[in-house]
Chain A
Amino acid sequence: MELILVVIIGLLYASGIYMMLRRSMVKLIIGLILLGNGANMLIFLLGRIVKGKPPIIDSTAKMLTEIYADPVPQALILTAIVISFGLQSFAIILVKRAYKITQTDDLDELNTTDEIYE
């Protein structure tokens, strides 16, 4: 399974970068989301994946023993997911707003700070 995940991570990175390099603002956001997911998967995989052993202490035990999934990457990723949601939602609304004022989605046309009156 690791090998497949490696391929998926590579694909997520590649597609994320590709979308970020587009001129459309919407595509830029999609690229950001893809890249963020790729990074999450990377951290997840590098913490080593374990099947069916969540890092939850058994009700009778006092600590995790045996083999268990690494809790640290999970904590990191959880934070990352939430933060990236904050970023994404703000970016989406910003794009919507910017489009309403400038009537363009092309980043190259956003080269002036002056308001455009039509």
Chain B
Amino acid sequence: MILAILSGFILAGCTPFISKFIKGKGSLLLPLLPFGLFVYFISYLKEIGEGQTFKFSYEWVPSYGINFGFHLDGLAMLFALLITGVGTLVFTYTTSYLKGHQYLDRFFGYLSMFMASMLGLVLSDNIITLFIFWELTSISSFFLIGFNNDDPKSRKSALLALSITGLGGLFLLAGMVLLGFVGGTYQFQELLSQSNLIQDHASYGWIVGLIFIGAFTKSAQFPFHFWLPGAMKAPTPVSTYLHSATMVKAGIYLLARFTPLLGGTPEWNTTLIIVGAITMVYAAVHSIFRIDMKGILAYSTISALGILVFLIGLGTEASLLAAGVFILVHALYKATLFLITGIVDHETGTRDVTVLSGLSKVLMPVAVAAGLAALSNAGAPPFFGFIGKDLIYEATLAYGNWAVVLTIAAIVTNVCLLFAGLLAGFKPFVGPLPSNYAALHLPHPTMWVPPLILAGLGLVFGLFPSLIEGVLVQPVFSSMVIEGAPVHIKLWHGFNLVLGLSLLTLTLGVVLYMILKPSSLLFSKTLKFEMIAPQTLFGIFGKFFNAFARFWTGLFQNGYLRNYVITILGFLTILLAYRLYQGVNLYIDTAQLTSLTIYEVTVAIMMIVAIIFTVFSRSRLVAVASLGVMGYSICLIFLFYSAPDLAMTQFSIDTLTVILFVLVIYNLPKYKNFSSKAVRLRDAVLSIFFGSLIAILTLEVLAEPLNRETSIFYAESAYLLAKGKNVVNVILVDFRGFDTMVEITVLVIAAIGVFSLLKLRLKSIEKE
């Protein structure tokens, strides 16, 4: 199992090394991978149909409870078959569609990575692994959407898709972690047994909300839907794959998967119904005004996703069954229509439905596939779509008080979808053939056979629903409804209200198709509403966020060293002041203080004056001289208080510093004030506060008892162990000899630096 999932990643990793092979005849071998996987999953079909599930577990990070746990049940099976099945056809289709493309190898690499991520996503039992695969699909779809990377629009769409789905993914992660925290495990099957506990927990609302955001962004629900039409910039095989079987279905999968765990509550159902209903109606109405085949299909996909969310939200057994069936219905006809769009675009160079017509005369098999898909989409009997539509109406009609409203919403959506389907799958193929398309010829069979297979399946499943009822539909249903009655799907229900509604939908759709002709005028009118579209709002938000980030960074990372110093010191001062304000205990033991003598006071006064001169002097020379005076005063203090070594060092160092200053002083710039008075006042206030705090802290520390352990050790051992009588010297050159050696090294480096700076000749820039 793990090999089955990882094989896609392995292939993706290999593509750079076999690029010549892929660009040549080798590309025809690549569809064998998804096909092999498809067969592999099919081999489990019988057992799954008998109600078995399969578990595979591999340890990964056991300490965090994260493992590669895979669980194959009905729902995972449906998606796995869609991913690998449609994957096979898309791979095959691509070999012709992108034949001879410069980056064909790259494309297949991304595509197989995407497929593998998707497989991992639907098979994961561990919700953290599920999240990782979830993000991998976002990342690989980013590369796929932005495949035409020299087109700025393509790049922008890819970025938009990534930011929306990636952002949602982060919410999802938060939801998953919270869920794992509440449930005490990250294994989905274990969580399932604690459904009641989780639903009664205080964090339930948060979990549901976070997971919803993740699912809605991925499945392009209103108001996050706008990245999907943008994703049309991708090559057609990608759109096919993203829209029918994968990516956008991930959110649906997530909701379906979590239904038995989190569903059944008012929060869950109401939110999903509202969001789903808004999305399906909004996008369906949008789709009928489009003129680009891909645009029509994109909005109809969003609408179909809305229907799925809506059905999951209804949460009844009938609606969940309808959702399960509709996933398959939609995947079959939508993939077909996209593949056909790709062929039409490939052959005629346009996707504008106002221009295209009569193509059935030159592209007959394609037209057949398109017609079948359009009819399945329309829900005409005896297609699979008819079954799907029937189930939807059954579900809405049975929904208590709101049945009428929900059913009307479903009818409106279906009528618009029907119209959109006819527009993309029917209109381009009927009517007179324009003369400039007369010379078209059928593309390579690898392009037109896949849509034909998919469309054919739509008819076969419709005629013989028993083919999939037991092996697929029942297990899918059981995954979502733990203890449900056995399901039964059939084509013919007899004459009843549902049939009437279906016929009404069909009639209305066809009438609409007759009346409303697609035109660019109408399309341009709808564009006026973009001002208030979520997409525009999102753009504004993005710009605002960027500006805010720039401002914030500029505020703190402004490149002025002193501003960093001010920030750090200011913060430190406030913290310390607050602490001292809470309870300062200024206790000064006067008995402990050393007595004052007149010469000490003199030295202290000298120092204070020197400091004042250093700071306020307008002359550089005075400042440096005062600095020297201050240094010598410190030297005297060291001398008074039993530190002769320090006094000597300070004396020599101070002398050297002053000499150095004076030596270079004539080269130094004029001593001047750059800052304004206000700035100086601010700095002065900060400095005085900081200085006072240090002084108070010093007093506090002085009141504390001192631990003299180290000093006592040195005092006792200096002579006995190191044979030296000056303890300070012994510490420096003996006990801490290595430190001193390193210190000398530092000094040598500084000396080399000074020397080279002095000797360095900077060619012509130098004006000595």
Contacts and interface: CB of A to CB of B under 8 A. Distances in A.
Interface of A: 1-24, 26, 30, 33-34, 37-38, 40-42, 44-59, 61-64, 68-72, 74-75, 77-79, 81-83, 85-90, 92-97, 99-101, 104-108, 111, 115, 117
B694 A13 contact: yes
20 contacts: A10-B691, A13-B694, A14-B690, A14-B691, A15-B691, A21-B566, A30-B614, A34-B627, A41-B634, A41-B637, A50-B641, A71-B715, A72-B711, A72-B714, A74-B643, A79-B743, A86-B749, A89-B751, A93-B757, A99-B669
Interface stretch (B60-68, B84-92, B434-442, B720-728): B720-728
B611 interface: yes
Given A3-B588, A74-B645, A85-B657, 7 more contacts: A4-B596, A10-B694, A12-B691, A19-B615, A45-B702, A81-B653, A107-B562
Contacts of A26: 620, 668-669, 671
B469 to A, nearest CB: 73
B394 to A, nearest CB: 72
B615 to A, nearest CB: 5
B601 interface: yes
Contact of B687 (A18, A45, A71, A105): A18
Contacts of A86: 746-747, 749-751
B660 A74 contact: no
B736 A69 contact: no
Given A3-B593, A68-B715, A111-B559, A99 B667 contact: yes
B667 A100 contact: yes
Contacts of B623: 30
A58 to B, nearest CB: 8
Given A72-B710, A107-B561, A96 B667 contact: yes
Main secondary structure of the interface of A (DSSP, over half): helix
B644 interface: yes
B715 A69 contact: no
A16 to B, nearest CB: 8
A56 B727 contact: yes
B718 A88 contact: no
A64 B611 contact: no
Given A1-B594, A94-B757, A55 B695 contact: no
B716 A64 contact: yes
Contacts of B565: 17, 20-21
Interface stretch (B241-249, B358-366, B758-766): B758-766
A4 B565 CA distance: 28
Contacts of B746: 83, 86
Contacts of B614: 15, 19, 30, 34
B669 A72 contact: no
A83 to B, nearest CB: 6
Contacts of A100: 667, 766-768
Given A3-B588, A44-B643, A89 B601 contact: no
B616 to A, nearest CB: 9
A77 to B, nearest CB: 6
A56 B642 CA distance: 10
B750 A89 contact: yes
Contact of B725 (A1, A59, A89): A59
A90 B756 CA distance: 10
B600 A4 contact: yes
Given A4-B601, A33-B627, A51-B640, A72 B719 contact: no
Contacts of B683: 17-18, 21-22
Contacts of B644: 54
A82 B649 contact: yes
B569 interface: yes
Nearest to B642: A69
Interface string B614-646: 110000100110010011001001101111111
A97 to B, nearest CB: 5
B533 interface: no
Given A85-B653, A89-B657, A14 B715 contact: no
Contacts of B743: 79, 82-83
A76 to B, nearest CB: 9
Central interface residue in B650, B671, B691, B706, by most chain A CB within 10 Å:
B691
A15 B674 contact: no
B548 to A, nearest CB: 24
A54 B664 contact: no
A15 B566 CA distance: 14
Interface in B644-661: 644-646, 649-650, 653, 656-657, 660-661
User: How many B residues touch the partner, as a band?
Assistant: 35 or more
A50 B766 CA distance: 53
A52 to B, nearest CB: 6
A45 B565 CA distance: 26
Nearest to A109: B674
Contacts of A22: 562, 673-675, 683
Given A57-B719, A101-B765, A71 B690 contact: no
Given A10-B691, A46-B701, A63-B716, A71 B562 contact: no
Nearest to A24: B674
A74 B728 contact: yes
Contacts of B595: 1
Interface in B298-319: none
Nearest to A39: B694
Contacts of A106: 674
A111 B561 CA distance: 12
Given A54-B643, A71-B728, A79 B740 contact: yes
B596 A1 contact: yes
Contacts of B468: none
Contact of A64 (B620, B672, B692, B715): B715
Contacts of A40: 634
B594 A49 contact: yes
Contact of A23 (B674, B706, B760): B674
Contact of B690 (A5, A13, A42, A104): A13
Interface string B696-713: 001101100010101100
B749 to A, nearest CB: 8
Contacts of A107: 560-562
B501 interface: no
B753 interface: yes
A81 B725 CA distance: 22
A-B pairs, 5 with minimum CB distance: A14-B691, A10-B695, A69-B642, A86-B750, A105-B669
A115 B764 CA distance: 12
Contacts of B624: 30
Given A9-B694, A54-B642, A72-B710, A81 B650 contact: yes
B575 interface: no
Contacts of A50: 594, 641-642
A26 to B, nearest CB: 6
B408 interface: no
Given A30-B627, A40-B634, A99-B667, A9 B695 contact: yes
A21 B684 CA distance: 9
Contacts of A24: 669, 671-674
B231 interface: no
